Amino acid sequence: MIKVNGRDREWEKDLTVDLLLKRCKYTFPLIMVKINGKYVPKEKYKDTLIMDGDDVQAIHSIAGG
């Protein structure tokens, strides 16, 4: 189990940041990702693995409206 924006989510093997964003349908371009409080640059989304128990923040800019 991992946390994504404070909510529980099933963990899966080989889960990268890129894959998690796809699973969540987080398509908005203005997102900042942190894993356990550590910032992950966009260019590393495909290579950065999320481990079981990690606390992930995928913060969207407010924009819109």
* Pick 13 or 65: Cβ nearer other proteins: 65
Q: List, in sequence order, the alpha helices (H) in the chain.
A: 17-23
* Buried-state track 36-47, b at ≥16 Cβ within 10 A, e below 16: eeeebeeeebee
Candidates 1, 13, 43, 65: give the one binding other proteins (CB under 8 A): 65
Strand, coil or helix: 26: coil
Of 5-24, which residues contact other proteins (CB under 8 A)? 5-7
From residue 44 to residue 63, the character string flagging contacts with other proteins as x (rule: CB under 8 A) and all else as - is -------------xxxxxxx
Which residues are at the interface with other proteins (CB under 8 A)?
5-7, 25-30, 32, 39, 57-65
